[in-house]
Structure 1
Amino acid sequence: MANDVVDFQLGAAGLGLGAFSGVLDVLSTCSKLYGLWRSLRGLDGYLGLLRAKLILQEALLDQWQRDWLSFTVSGKVALQKQRLLKVHQNAVIVSLEVVRSLLESLEPLREASKAPESALERLQLAAGGATDCDKTLGQISSMLNDLYRLLPPANPNVEVSQTVMSLEYIGCQGMPHCGAEKDVGLGSETFSRAMTFRQLGQDLEKDLEDRISAFKHTLPTAELTMAPDRVRITANDEASGGFRSFGTLDSKTPVVVEWKKYDLNWKGQKGIRLRGRIQNIARLLHADSKPDELLTLNCLGVFDDYEKSRYGLVFALPTGAEVDVEMRSMKSLLDQPTPETLPTLGDRYRIAYSLTLSLAILHASGWLQKSIRSHNIMFIIKAGRPVWSRPYLVGFDFSRPDSKDEVSEKPEQSVRFNLYRHSSAQGIPGESFRKSFDIYSLGVVLLEIGLWRLAWSFRGDDTNAKKVQSIFTSKATSWLGHFMGVGYRDATLKCLNGDLGQGDDSVVRAFYIEVVEIMGSLAESQ
């Protein structure tokens, strides 16, 4: 928030330096009070729920501040917003002063929550003032809701913003029951689904590690394991390098099959881990709790193709897709452009926004994708034209929770695939793989979208990872501004350069604010 304040004050010179200093001062105080609750850890029961609700409030207020107090004086819209804020400045200050006062009234409870009492004693401590706290929370929410009606946030998806900004600070520990946040009025549908999605991933990971420790040879569940003869392969996706096929399930349902190769010599714990990872990915991508903004195909099950030493993850086509509708990868569309498959400027903005939003939700939910490239982005083709607004992320065969992990299997080592991998992430995507590597890979894809050319065409004869990275950065700097505008160019460069998550900002938060919101604004402008 502090950096936003400085940027805005520099940009507000047209209305007089410090024209909104009163608003900025009270916002700063509110931010500090919210931050004190956010910094607490290990709260359970009512106190954990209270902290979670305050974190959600802070996320929405932070969104409002970015929309109304974080722009420079440039363009007609920016000036109109400043003038409107100036007209309502006194009402805004009074509203925020009330919020500040209400937050201060919760300070005694926050201080008491840090005492070293047992969980039962802390619960008793909170119970006495629960009714008053609920009333205070309701008053804060009412006041902020009135502010948002007066000066609405302009973000294309405020619910997702709230979710991404809050998830890293809210865990299931101390919640009444994970996955039931909607029942207690905690946040939006998107937030509730993302929390449940994240907890499912954590539960699957714990189950796998427990089975590895116990050295059991059984799969965690059999519900998604299917017989190989139920799947009939009708065609291979040439653009995937042998990692994807098309076919039917039970001779009638069109499906996409993602292949995961394995070594027959993998026994014991190594074999258990591989089978468990594949089963976990299947269950995760089958979950009803998956947020709608995370554009992935629904996994119907997994089977073992013994003859070719590979697992097949079976995915349904998107809901509503007719039997004769095909899916094609972005790579194949770039390879074979036609008038019907050339996206407009607005289409490219919408593709970029949908992809960046999907990755933000995936990362906020605690997962890494690890194989982002144009080969693994699929579009529905209807009447010969791609549905540009819904690009689907596929290729989750190496995906895993964002935590320390022992990886036994190696990815395909194609030079064409390595083009999308950060220079520090070539080869095995193991323990050191992190969110910034996913973001770099997406940056290469954003370059391809902006120029509508394959990254392969830019590399020349270079295969050195650092040189290729430098080439991509140079192309983005020189060309993207002319084709897509400076906002798109700068957001893409931040992905390629690793300029996100510096200072106090986390990578998730910085990626959402500096990339996703920019792409969303560009998509909305068309």
Structure 2
Amino acid sequence: MDPVTAAGIGLSVTSLALQVFSGCITGYQMFIEAKDMPATYEHLRTRLRIEQTRCLNWGEKVGLLEELLDEPSQFLQLNHNLILNILLEVQKAFRSCMVVTKKYDPVAAASSRSSAIAISESHGSTFLERTLAAWRKGGRVASRIEWSVIKKDSFEELIKKLIHFNDRIESFLDRRTLDDLRQAQAQSNLMLLQVTEQVSQLRDLIAAVRLEQTAGPDMSPSFSRASTFVDRDDQMRSLASLAAFKAHALELEKATMEAPNLEIQMSDLVSLDQLRATRPVTKLKGRSVWIEWRETIADIDAMPKYKRQLADRVRALATILASPSKSPTFRSPDCLGYFLDETSRPQRYALVYSWPLGDSDLGAGIASLRDALASSTRISLNSRISLACRLSESLLHLHAVNWLHKGFRSDCVLFTAAGDRDFILSDVLISGFEFSRPALPDAMTVTHVFPVEQDLYRHPDLLDPEPARSKKSYDIYSLGLVLAEIAMWQPIEEITGIEVRRSRLYQVRERMLDEKTGIFDSIAERVGDIYAKVVRRCISGGESLGVDIGADEEDPKVGAEMQKIFHAEIVSKLRALKF
């Protein structure tokens, strides 16, 4: 039905757009739920899910909601003909990919309600349900299709067309709305990654996001849409990188692939007398490197089992941090290997990282945020907000692949420094991964004894004699303390006014959340109310992070909800700050 005919029978343009849009989403759902699809096509099904989510996010942003039909957005009013034409082309593309179209036509009435598509739990979002319900209101029910009615040789081409159509409808948006849409899609991508748990599924996801759009004569991008494609491609590359890392980590954890030998001989390192420094810079076979010390091994003869566990954990950690699939969004240094210093008492492990500046500027050093806080250096508000954004984004992506940091603190936030005051905050790295492990139910946990300065940043539940198992909300708690330090530009013990003694560690969270201390008021005064609310959310945890008391954070559904809150209420809020 064309717009003119629709107007003739009393349908508003917005109402018609909603009907056609819901037909498109129903078409997506039919193909996603196609029965008996061979495993070799699973990556295409995955890409269909991604493109359906893009279309849904777009529809929600432009106001294709039943409750808004009486007050259509200016965007819909100005672009209704173009939008309708594109949406009708989407429906046409679905029809053309089917051997039989009459019975299964997503824009035609089906004969029986009993054959309606069931919405799977993974697609049970409110807007999807409402959109499919809008389609059914007209007495139309889409049947669930069999793989046999889909044209196999046209299926991949269909998806490339859908990518193109989504790019086109997004290209009409203004820059601000497009940015909002990109944030919504990034959140959807991370939630998809969160619930994808099998290596084979992750491989399908990687293949799906790497699917290139066909650039035929009628599908080449215009100059005005250049930024749209760049943003989308960046998102796809980031998702592929995270999925590849998660798959690699799972393979290592499940011992389905052989880890390379990354053990380094201490004799290959020069200036051994300087290795006692906190983060010594040295040479490894002519290459500039820096060293980060890990746990010590005390009384090893009495703990042979612990020694083996520790060696295995260091080896696995070095392997994953040296992985070429490691996402740059983690901001972790490039690991070259590890060694055991048997000359020290007690013995201790160390991770060896490449020097971030190559073989240049060896006069510079590596400083931590903790060092900067203790100095007389004053950093601009914009630089501090930017640093807070980078750290929260890194932890968000780390959690998206189910990897816990476990030791997040200002001492592991690193940047190069030319002197005592010249800190380069834009080149931030996150170290301290020596205490990390995948957040899997059967992942091995090694108990450590930490210095009291590190325990300042640990959640109180981790300070008990028999500590709780580490989880994402504890990482986010530690992030909240670091964000508070960045806001006030003071160490956390000065902000809370406690002595750095083990008996006082439990008071950190209490004093942060105690209204009488006025800490959040002080943070709001320095960096604004929004930033202060973000810090409070991180430290409060629980329902503030979308987690019920006692909920299993390793459950994919719980993890997905946490990911949603983390992205929307922490990362996005910090990104939106402008001073």
What TM-score do the two structures reach when normalised by structure 1? Answer: 0.75
1:297-334 deviation per Cα after TM superposition (whole angstroms, max 9, x unaligned):
00011011123321110111225563222110000100
Do the aligned partners of 2:414 and 2:430 also contact (CA within 8 Å) in 1? yes
- Counterparts in 2 of 1:484 and 1:52: CA distance versus 1, 3 Å: same
The alpha carbon displacement at 1:403 in A equals 0.8
Q: 1:310 to 1:351 in 2, by over 3 A?
A: same
Amino acid of the structure 1 residue aligned with 2:445: V
CA distance 1:26–1:313, change in 2 (3 Å): farther
Q: Which amino acid aligns with 1:408?
A: V
Identify the residue that residue 330 of structure 1 maps to in structure 2: 369
Deviations 1:478-507 (A, max 9, x none): 122222122222222221111123587521
- Equivalent residue of 2:290, what SS? strand
Q: Against the structure 1 CA distance between its residues 30 and 184, is the aligned structure 2 distance closer, same or farther, given a 3 Å change threshold?
A: closer
> For 2:246 and 2:412, how far apart are their aligned partners in 1?
22
Q: Distance in 1 between matches of 2:431 and 2:381?
A: 24
Contact 1:44 1:175 in 2 (8 A): no
Change (3 A) 1:464 1:260: closer
Q: CA deviation at 1:100?
A: 7.9
**Alignment partner, residue 225 of structure 1:** 263
CA distance in 2, matches of 1:465, 1:253: 38
Q: Which residue of 2 aligns with 1:402?
A: 439
Distance in 1 (CA, whole Å) between partners of 2:191 and 2:437 is 21
Bigger shift: residues 312-321 or 87-96: 87-96
Return closer, same or farther for 1:262/1:514 CA change in 2, 3 Å cut-off. same
1:282-301 alignment, distance < 5 Å: 282-301=318-337
User: Mapping of 1:382-397 within 5 angstroms?
Assistant: 382=418, 385-397=422-434
Query: Is residue 512 from structure 1 mapped to residue 539 from structure 2 by the alignment?
Result: no
Alpha-carbon distance in 1 for matches of 2:199, 2:27: 23
Rounded to whole Å, the distance in 2 between the matches of 1:449 and 1:65 is 38
User: Could you say which residue in structure 2 is the equivalent of 1:149?
Assistant: 171
CA distance in structure 2 between the aligned counterparts of 1:222 and 1:403, rounded to whole angstroms: 23
2:494 alignment counterpart: 457
Tell me if structure 1 keeps the 8 A contact 2:367–2:414: yes
CA drift at 1:355:
0.7
Aligned residue number for residue 545 of structure 2: 500
Q: What corresponds to 1:11 in structure 2?
A: none
CA contact (8 A) 1:163 1:190 kept: no
CA distance in 1: counterparts of 2:317 and 2:457, whole angstroms? 22
Question: In the superposition, relative to structure 1, how do residues 490 and 60 fare at CA in structure 2: closer, same or farther (>3 Å)?
Answer: farther
2: distance between equivalents of 1:402 and 1:455? 27
Find the aligned partners of 2:506 and 2:537 in 1 and give their Cα distance: 16
1:173-212 to structure 2, matched below 5 A, reads 173-174=200-201, 184-185=211-212, 188-207=236-255
Q: For 1:417, which of 454, 463, 469 is the aligned residue?
A: 454
Residue deviations 1:97-123, cap 9 Å, x none?
A: 776897897999996999xxxxxxxxx
The residue number in structure 2 matching 1:277 is: 313
Percent of aligned pairs with the same residue? 21
Q: Write the distance in 1 (CA, Å) between the matches of 2:302 and 2:195.
A: 38
Q: Deviations over 1:60-98 (max 9, x none)?
A: 45665787679xxxxxxxxxxx75566446755775677
The aligned residue for residue 409 of structure 2 is: 373
For residues 120-135 of structure 1, the aligned pairs below 5 Å read 125=147, 129-135=151-157
Q: Is the 8 A contact 1:443 1:493 kept in 2?
A: yes
- Aligned-partner Cα distance in 1 for 2:290–2:483: 27
Other structure's SS at 2:254 match: helix
Shift of 1:182: 6.0
Query: Displacement, 1:251?
Result: 6.0
Quick one: which of 468, 483, 500 aligns to 2:526?
Answer: 483
Alpha-carbon distance in structure 2 between the residues aligned to 1:454 and 1:180: 45
Per-residue deviation, 1:230: 2.1
SS in 2 for 1:255: strand
Q: Does 1:472 align with 2:512?
A: yes
2:291 to 234, 256, 272: 256
Larger radius of gyration: 2
Structure 1 window deviating more from structure 2 (49-58 vs 295-304): it is: 49-58
Distance 1:281 1:403 in 2: 15
DSSP-derived class of the 2:426 partner: coil
Deviation string for 1:355-381 (max 9, x for gaps)? 111111111122110000001100112
- In 2, distance between residues paired with 1:428 and 1:91? 65
Find out whether 1:316 has 2:354 as its counterpart: yes
Residue 419 of structure 1: how far off its partner (Å): 2.3
Q: Is the 8 A contact 2:315 2:338 kept in 1?
A: yes
Q: 1:168 aligns to what SS in structure 2?
A: helix
SS of equivalent to 1:154: helix
Q: Which of 42, 47, 52 in structure 2 is aligned with 1:48?
A: 42
Structure 1 residues 112, 494: closer, same or farther in 2, change over 3 A? closer
Change (3 A) 1:180 1:21: closer
- The answer to whether structure 1 residue 265 and structure 2 residue 301 are counterparts is yes
CA distance in 1, matches of 2:157, 2:237: 23
Q: How far apart in 2 are the matches of 1:493 and 1:275?
A: 38
Alpha-carbon distance change, 493 to 296 in structure 1, aligned in 2, over 3 angstroms? same
Give the alignment's Cα RMSD to 1 decimal. 4.3
Structure 2: gaps of 5 or more residues: 1-12, 65-72, 96-103, 121-145, 214-232, 549-556
The equivalent residue for 1:165 is: 191
Q: Equivalents in 1 of 2:463, 2:17: separation in Å?
A: 48
Q: Deviations over 1:171-219 (max 9, x none)?
A: 43256678655654497222222111111111111129x9xxxxxxxxx
Partner of 1:8: none
Q: What is the CA-CA distance between 1:449 and the residue it aligns to? A: 0.7
Contact 2:318 / 2:335 at 8 angstroms: preserved in 1?
A: yes
Moved more, 302-311 or 185-194: 185-194
Q: 1:346 to 1:235 in 2, by over 3 A?
A: farther
Question: Counterparts of 1:84 and 1:113 in 2: how far apart (Å)?
Answer: 30
In 1, the alpha carbon distance for the partners of 2:23 and 2:361 equals: 55
Once the two structures are superposed, the pairs formed by residues 94-109 of structure 1 within 5 Å of their partners are none
- For the 8 Å contact 2:484–2:535, the answer to whether it is kept is yes
**Residue 337 of structure 1: SS of its match in structure 2?**
coil
Aligned residues: 467
CA distance in 1, matches of 2:497, 2:32: 49
Do 1:377 and 1:391's aligned partners in 2 also have CA atoms closer than 8 Å?
yes
1: CA distance, partners of 2:379 / 2:18:
42
Deviation of 1:519 after TM superposition, in Å, equals: 2.0
Consecutive unaligned residues of structure 1, counting only runs of 5 or more, are: 1-18, 71-81, 115-123, 211-219, 239-243
Contact 1:256 1:317 in 2 (8 A): no
Amino acid at match of 2:366: M
Letter in 2 for 1:57: E
8 A contact 1:106–1:133 mirrored in 2:
no
**TM-score, length-scaled by structure 2:** 0.68
Distance 1:380 1:136, change over 3 A: same
The 3-state SS of whatever aligns with 2:470 is coil
Asked if the contact 1:343/1:388 (under 8 Å) is kept, the reply is no
Amino acid corresponding to residue 261 of structure 1 in structure 2: T
Q: Give, as a single letter, the amino acid of the residue that structure 2 aligns with 1:336.
A: S
